[in-house]
Structure 1
Amino acid sequence: MTGSGFDDLLSANRDFASDFAYGGFDGIARAGVALVTCMDSRIDPLRMIGLGPGDAKIFRNPGGRVTEAALEAIVLATHLLNVNRVLIVPHTRCAVASSSEDEIRERIAASAGTDAAWQRFHVIDDQVAALGQDVHKVRSHPLVPESVQVGGFLYDVDSGLLDQKY
């Protein structure tokens, strides 16, 4: 399909695939790492911890929270994909940690031109406390082995540094 609005990305993909080196890879996390982080485009999850493609499993969502889907990914990763370390990494200046639920709903409604009062955006009132809850959620999950190391870090989008909180 040409002229679809994705032509630039498809062209970049053809360039990427021209010397693609990951064919046949089994998909395990070679460095034994899983990372839960925010969808924010200022985060380069692999490079920020010195890794590359194939080294880690990455789960991204607004706020970098440990949701039910993230827990599912962590359980799969720790049992089937070689993961023995889990990093939970929200970041500074995050929209869901610096706005109220009503403020985000109002912005979405203005952009969409329709009521957004029914949509939850799971804002975070206290980012460090929420990070502690998420770390506890993973550490105490009955299907996450006790041998798995779990850490909670805050990523600074202005310096690129991680600050371990848990």
Structure 2
Amino acid sequence: MTTFDALIERNQDFASHRFLKDLPLMPTLRAMIIGCVDPRVDPALLLGLGLGEAVVIRNVGGRITPATLQTMGMLGRVAQSEKGNPAGEFHLIVLQHTQCGIARLEGDPDMLASYFGIGKEGVTAKAITDPHAAVAVDVAALKANPALPGTWLVSGLVYDVTTGLVEVVVPPAPLASPESNE
């Protein structure tokens, strides 16, 4: 059996036994997780998510990039068109992990600069080789984005690929401080 055949067979099993009809477009846990494409780090599995519970955006390193922000903006527009724009508590979770392959790209500052939409001189500040620092950098980038509702919560986690546990690096907090009146 080929990989393709196995996937089609698995889909048939899913449709027969686990498919949930009429799920709402808006995630029921009111959460968006930004994580890495690494196959060892599937946010749905390691956080126990069910269908429809969270939006999951995955990219190399689980990083906040111009493409990530563009995707978030498009999702916001989709939510508005469905009259479901998440007002009130909504949680953005930055999920990065140990032993990430993006660290292997440290020697290619041109590629990394292009990925992050910055000059080569700014690559070091992205903390490519330190997931704990990188989570803090990316949470700060979300907090600095005026297009995101200030009432939304943001947090940062690092998943340890050797233990299976997540560590809270940045606890949940509003994107904007209450005194900023956003």
Per the normalisation by structure 2, the TM-score is 0.69
- In the alignment of these two chains, the number of paired residues is 148
- 2:92 maps to 1:94: no
Measure how far apart 1:46 and its partner are: 2.1
Q: 2:111 aligns with which of 120, 123, 126?
A: 120
Question: Counterpart amino acid of 1:70?
Answer: T
- 2:176 is aligned to none
Q: Which moved more, 1:67-76 or 1:154-163?
A: 67-76
Q: Secondary structure at the match of 1:120?
A: helix
Separation in structure 2 between the aligned mates of residue 156 and residue 59 of structure 1, nearest angstrom: 19
Question: What secondary structure, in the 3-state scheme, does the structure 1 residue paired with 2:19 have?
Answer: coil
The one of the two structures with greater contact order (alpha-carbon pairs below 8 A, sep at least 6) is 1
Deviations, residues 32-87 of structure 1 (Å, cap 9, x unaligned): 11101111111231232232111000011111101122223334556726471011
Residues 4 and 15 (structure 1), Cα distance of their counterparts in 2 relative to 1, 3 Å cut: same
Aligned match for 2:90, one of 75, 84, 89: 84
Question: In structure 1, which of residues 54, 58, 61 is the aligned counterpart of residue 56 of structure 2?
Answer: 58
Match of 1:163 in 2: 167
1:153 maps to amino acid: L
Counterpart in the other structure of 1:138: 142
Structure richer in helix, relative to its length: 2
Q: CA deviation at 1:144?
A: 0.7
Contact 2:63/2:138 (<8 A) preserved: yes
Match of 1:71 in 2: 69
Instruction: Tell me the amino acid that sits aligned with residue 95 of structure 1.
Output: G
Match of 2:20 in 1: 22
Can you give the 5+ residue segments of structure 1 that lack an aligned partner in the other structure? 103-118
CA distance in 2, matches of 1:21, 1:13: 10
SS in 2 for 1:46: helix
Misfit runs of 4+, over 6 Å: none
Seq. identity, %: 32
Unaligned runs of 5+ in 2: 80-84, 116-122, 171-182
Question: Secondary structure at the residue paired with 1:6?
Answer: helix
Change (3 A) 1:66 1:32: same
Deviations 1:97-151 (A, max 9, x none): 255335xxxxxxxxxxxxxxxx825581443332222111111211111111111
